[in-house]
Structure 1
Amino acid sequence: MTTTPIAPVPATTPPRSRNGPRALLVSLGTLLILTGVVLLAIGGTAAWANQQRDDDGYFRAGPERVSTETSAVSVPLLELSGAGPDDLYAGDFLGDVRIQLESRNTGVPLFVGIGPAAEVAKYLVGFGHDEVSDIAVDPFEVVTTTRPGGRPAAAPATQSFWVASDTGTGARTLGWNATEGDWAVVIMNADGSPAVDVDVSVGGKLPAIRGIAVGALIGSALLLTIGTAVMISALGLSRR
């Protein structure tokens, strides 16, 4: 009896699925494009904001009338600090700060000063003043809280702790290059008398705005280009 050998069945390799790599590319491309769109919006907003400076290069808010029956108006604490690249430090972000004011009481000399918050707080102890509790920028509005007390024993210009100050009649301008620290701002009649009534505007150069705009727009262009290339690769893989 003769038996015919049975030929072995050749092993077959199952077709490789491209769904996994394609889905990964689609997800990556979508993430890159969405991030690029967000950066584009940030860069566009920063570029628009950078055009809103006045003739001196400041972003300006005001003027706003600030008045009190006490002897001073103060911003008790400005915390300027930063952690990260140099361009994000408080001083680099704010740049030059400008405070402009003019008394509504004709001929009354004004004083405006910026000093360390702790030293200013010691000076203000015991005499009546209004503390700024909130500031809105658009529209510019100042909200104050009154601290009762008497009249200061010494005129503000006689104090030695001010890092920047200005005093005199008429329109006054105080310029200051913002540096890291805890600061306070005080506006008074120069002789410390009560009834302060002024028009105030504030401004800052904010040099970091230009850098934010340029960086965000460049990053957006790169991410959108890479994201589009990844999506095209995913489409090509799908067709194959």
Structure 2
Amino acid sequence: MDAYPATPNYSAPTQPLRMKPWNWVMLVVGVLLMLLGIGLIIAGAVLLSAGAAQRDGQFLTTDAHRYQTTGHAIASPPLTLELEETETAELPPLEDIANFQIRATPVIPDQELFVGVAEATDAAAYLDDVPHAVLEDVTWTQQEQFSDEWTWDTEVDQRLQEVAGSATPAAPAEEDIWVESTTGTGTQDLTFELQEGQWTLVVLNADGTRPVWVDLQAGARTELMDPVSPGLLIAGIVGLVLGIPLLLLGAAGLGRDIDQDHPQQHHGLSPAATTSGAAVPVYPLAFSGHLDGQLSRGLWLVKWLLAIPHYIVLALLWFALVVTTIAAGIVILFTARYPRSLFAFSVGVLRWSWRVGFYGYLALGTDRYPPFTLAHAAYPAELDVPYPAQLSRGLVLVKWWLLALPHILLLGIIAGGGGVVWLGAGNTSASWGFSLLGLLVLIAAIGLLFTGRYMAGLFALVIGLNRWTYRVSTYVLLLRDEYPPFRLDQGPTDPPPYQPAHHETPQPGL
């Protein structure tokens, strides 16, 4: 393996470089179009899947839930259905939009059930002075965060409000108030087409006796999914087709702005330019963080609030960074070179993230507010990566996930938020979870609160943990091929380069 190029030297400007505004506009518009496109594609795919699930007369159903009352009936709250006409378009009738299905199964075998839907006033008159139970407001909830299956909230829908009374209802099948009804033993399916009005669902034993013990399951189907889902998919694809080029052009433009500001930082060294006696840095990442001499005792309590504008911008930038890294990986696969402007953009995002993390809850090393820039600036935390003359084509396919996996697992424990570590230390928000870094920063914060001092040894360790994280980030984001060392280089600045003996061959990363 070739020796590393020397760590870049630069002098930070007193004022941050001003980026061209149209590059920011293209980047932001590209990100928004991509997010919109992804959202539309997901919505279209969900509707397409739901439409396929309800073919052949099938309904999209919830899980069944059990209800029991000592009264004579279980009734739903009145459901009002009303369709307002517009001046520009006449909407289709409700019955052409959707219909519902209620599936009732008696808990007691061979119990004959009656299920019916009536106008709310008729149902209220039928149940007047009859002891029964009313379902409280039913809400919908998602079972798991990333699950497509929706169900009734079990903490709400199993609660019944008992209504007192002394009357016994007439046999429900003999009443003529029902718009739709079904009766019999075993599971009963009641289908109700949407109609304007106010409606109540009532479940009873077929003979009107008490108690009522039943499992209920709701379902719905609509014919609107099939015509809507292709449109959403097409609109989402258009959003991606327009958004990806705008995002890449904007990121490349911002990278060129940085490159023009400090072009020397991207000069890689060819293999011929290195010698066996060249100084070899531990890793080709210039990473520093200098502790302010005077820190506020209590400012850290509100830094999460003060840094919200940065968090918003960084969320946008990290989304763009994922896209540019994928694009750069494709280019490296065919050319063995990282597009220079995208390289500068990627390093700029890491630089901005580190500044905000240093100000915030990755280090709490300064009270100086971070600048809003991707470029170098006069700030106590800095980061840079030398531009590589050449990258391995094959490593692009495996280094960001397979080869980096040992580091990712370790950093998941050390820094917390394994998914964030995977993307490269994008965790600029509070990391006070069950992690070593979060615990150390919390100890430092408590020390500041009571003593106004930040222990030097603790600060050195915190910076060392962040340095390790950002070295792995550099590798995962395809910026360098050199494997990150399994070592903790503490202190505000990188360790001095290793000077091998003349007979030694430099072994980077070991």
TM-score computed with the length of structure 1 as normaliser: 0.74
Q: Partner of 1:217 in structure 2?
A: 233
Between 25-34 and 214-223, the greater mean CA deviation after superposition: 25-34
Displacement of 1:49 in angstroms is: 4.1
Partner residue of 2:121 out of 88, 108, 118: 118
1:57 aligns with 2:73: no
Farther off after superposition, 196-205 or 208-217: 208-217
Deviation at 1:38, TM superposition (A): 2.2
Give the letter for the 2:210 counterpart.
P
Distance in 2 (alpha carbons) for counterparts of 1:86 and 1:59: 27
Aligned to 2:132: 129
| Alpha-carbon RMSD | 3.4
Q: Give the distance between the partners of 1:74 and 1:176, measured in 2 at CA.
A: 15
The partner residue of 2:99 within 96, 99, 102 is: 96
1:33 equivalent in alignment to 2:34 = yes
Gap change, CA 1:105 and 1:86, over 3 Å in 2: farther
Q: Would the alpha carbon gap of residues 63 and 228 (structure 1) be closer, same or farther in structure 2, given more than 3 Å must change?
A: closer
- 1:45 equivalenced with 2:46 (yes/no): yes
2:243 and 2:134 mapped to 1: Cα distance?
51
Percent of residue pairs bearing the same amino acid type = 26
Aligned mate of 2:168, from 152, 163, 170:
152
SS of alignment partner, residue 76 of structure 2? strand
Deviates most, 212-221 or 112-121: 212-221
1:196 pairs with 2:212: yes
Deviations 1:156-181 (A, max 9, x none): 22332211011233332212222233
How far apart are the structure 2 equivalents of 1:237 and 1:200? 59
Name the CA shift for 1:139/1:28 in 2 (closer, same or farther; >3 Å): closer
Instruction: Tell me the residue number matched to 2:184.
Output: 168
Aligned residue for 1:163, secondary structure, equals strand
Residue deviations 1:131-179 (CA, integer Å, cap 9, x gap): 0004462576532110011233422223322110112333322122222
How far, CA to CA, are the matches of 1:38 and 1:109 in structure 2? 47
Alignment-mate amino acid for residue 238 of structure 2: L
Name the SS of the counterpart of 2:75 in structure 1. strand
Give the secondary-structure state (helix, strand or coil) at the position aligned to 1:62. Answer: coil
SS of residue in 2 equivalent to 1:76:
coil
Equivalent residues of 1:134, 1:143 under 8 A apart:
no
Does residue 1:177 correspond to 2:193, yes or no?
yes
CA change 1:37–1:155 in 2 (3 A) is: same
SS at structure 1 position matched to 2:47: helix
In the TM superposition, what is the alpha-carbon distance from 1:212 to its structure 2 partner? 4.2
The structure, 1 or 2, with the larger RCO (C-alpha pairs under 8 Å, 6+ apart) is 1
- Aligned equivalents of 1:121, 1:214: Cα separation in 2: 44
> What is the SS of the residue equivalent to 2:202?
strand
Measured at CA, do residues 28 and 106 of structure 1 come closer, stay the same or move farther in structure 2, by a change above 3 Å?
Answer: closer
**TM-score between the two structures when normalised by the length of structure 2:** 0.38
Q: Distance in 2 between matches of 1:92 and 1:67?
A: 34
SS at match of 2:200: strand
- Cα pair 1:88 1:208 within 8 Å, conserved: no
SS of residue paired to 2:136 = strand
Distance 1:230 1:104, change over 3 A: closer
Conservation of the 8 A alpha-carbon contact between 2:27 and 2:248: no
Q: Does the 8 A contact of 1:35 with 1:220 survive in 2?
A: yes
SS at match of 1:34: helix
Cα 1:139–1:30 change in 2 (3 A) is closer
The Cα shift of 1:229 comes to 4.8
The 3-state SS of whatever aligns with 1:152 is: coil
